Structure formats: C-alpha cells, structure tokens
Amino acid sequence: MKPMTTSLSPNTQDSPAQTGEPQSTQPTPKSATKPDRTRAVQPVLEKLFELYPHLFGAEFLPLKLGIFQELLAKHPEQFQRDSLKAALGVHTRSTRYLQCVAAGKPRHDLDGAAVEPVAPEHVFLTLIELFRRRQARTKDDLQPKLRTQLIAAFEASGLSRQDYLSRVQSNDAQAITLLDEALAEYDAKQARQEALLRAFESSGKTVQEFADMYGLKERDVNAALARRRGD
C-alpha cells in the first residue's frame, strides 16, 4: 500500500487554515514568530469572537469544512481574504483548538450546530501534534498517555483496523511508529480480555465469584462481557 503525505485537506479548495486541522505532523520552517503572527491577526480574531462567541469564545469548537468561504461570503465588508485566512490559521493551529479536535467533538457551522464528525485522520494528526508540543516542554515520557489516546481514537472511529490504517497513512515515520505501538498495546489488551472471558465461560462461576477468584472488580468483568456481546 503506497504511503501518502500527511497533508489531509479533504477538499483541494480547503487549506489547513480553512479546514481546521494541522497540515502536517512534521515541523515546517517559520518566517515569523508565533507572537508576531498572532498580533498581526488579533483584530480579525477579536471580530470573529464578537460575531461568533460560541465558536471562538471561552470554549473552542471544531469548524466545519469550508467555513472560510462562508465567512467571506457572509461578511464581505468586515473580512479580507488574506487576513481572514491568516487569522483562521492562527486559530486552528492553537493548542486550545487542537485540544477540542482531539477530544472528539464534531465540526460546527456558523450557527453553532454540529454538522459532521472530524475525520479519523485529522484526529490522529492532532493527537500527534499535541503530543509533540507537550513532550517538548517536559522530561516526562508522555508516550504511554498518547498510546491510550490513540487507542481511544481508533475505537471511537468505528472503523476496522484495515480501514483505519488506510485513512491515517503517513510518510511521517515517527507518527506511524507511535501508532503501531498503540495498536500493539490494543492487541495485547484484547488478547488478555479474550483469555479472561474464556476463563469465565469455562469456570461455571457467577460474575461476582469469578471476580473474587481472580482479584478483579466485578464491574470490569461485566464491562468485558458487555463488549463481547456488542461484538
């Protein structure tokens, strides 16, 4: 299967600033510092907050694809193309915005209505970007937490393993290695749960008796059984 790049704009007319996701998980050269870029577009960001506090206020929400064009069409007197594009770029690359994407919140339109889920590949890229930002600020190993987040994102996608991997293909070797490690942990967890369920089914015990026998919590055994029934 041929790898693709980490540029994940679903629509060729949507730039990263317009779609609301990082274009790549790999560092890119910067011609201006972050404070300089933020100051340059601050008036536009303030206007966005004034017009749409439910999207750009205290709580950020993922933006629907094509919202850049909608803003230009709806407010031709208040926004210019280049400055709006730059402002949305600053906004959607901010850590606060990436956190709302990583949390699995759906995309929202200008009215604040949820319109579609964020694509699994965008959630994946966002988790990797947030991990790199946080890891750069600490000596603690944040990979165990990242693996937990990647597993949760994979499960939340509802995709098969093959379909998920086809969606998140990347030429970013480190990102793919991190995902491989997360999926290996997921496989090990699934194998342990399967072994536990087989032991329960052959034990002839009640859930409470089985949990007591193995030093487990009854709710954990019930949760594993519920997942088996769901499968």
The pLDDT tens digits of the residues spanning 197-209 come to 889 889 999 999 9
Q: What is the CATH number of the domain that holds 34?
A: 1.10.1710.10
pTM: 0.78
Residues 135 and 200 in one domain: no
CA–CA gap between residue 42 and residue 141 (Å, rounded): 35
What integer is the mean pLDDT of 120-145? 97
Residues 145 and 195 in one domain: no
Largest CA distance in the chain: 73
Residues 38 and 74 in one domain: yes
177 found inside a domain: no
Confidence at 77, pLDDT banded by 50, 70, 90: very high
* Alpha helix (H) residue ranges in 53-206: 53-56, 67-74, 81-92, 95-102, 120-135, 143-157, 161-167, 173-203
Closest CA to 200 of 183, 177, 216: 216
pLDDT averaged over every residue in the chain: 86
Residue 69 has what pLDDT?
Answer: 97
Residues 200 and 135 in one domain: no
Total domains, the chain: 2
The answer on pLDDT for 64 being more than 80 is: yes
- How does DSSP assign 124-168, residue by residue? HHHHHHHHHHHHTT-SS--HHHHHHHHHHHHHHHT--HHHHHHHS
144 found inside a domain: yes
Residues 48 and 147 in one domain: yes
Structural tokens at position 88: 């949305």
φ, ψ of residue 194 in degrees (nearest 5) = -65, -40
The answer on pLDDT for 114 being more than 90 is: yes
Reduced 3-state DSSP string for 17-42: HHHCCCCCCCCCCCCCCHHHHHHHHH
Cα angle: 160, vertex 7, 52; to 5 degrees: 95
Boundaries of domain holding 221: 182-230
Contacts made by residues 34-42, CB under 8 angstroms, sequence distance 24+: 37/86, 37/89, 37/90, 38/90, 40/86, 41/83, 41/86, 41/87, 41/90
CA–CA gap between residue 76 and residue 176 (Å, rounded): 42
143 found inside a domain: yes
Paired with 63 in beta bridges are: 108
Residues 192 and 166 in one domain: no
Residue 137 has what pLDDT?
Answer: 97
Residue 25 has what pLDDT?
Answer: 47
Residue 157 has what pLDDT?
Answer: 96
What integer is the mean pLDDT of 103-114? 96
**166-201 confidence digits (pLDDT tens):** 999 889 999 999 999 999 999 998 898 888 888 988
Confidence at 34, pLDDT banded by 50, 70, 90: low
What integer is the mean pLDDT of 32-44? 79
Residue 190 has what pLDDT?
Answer: 87
Residues 118 and 198 in one domain: no
Confidence at 158, pLDDT banded by 50, 70, 90: very high
Residue 32 has what pLDDT?
Answer: 58
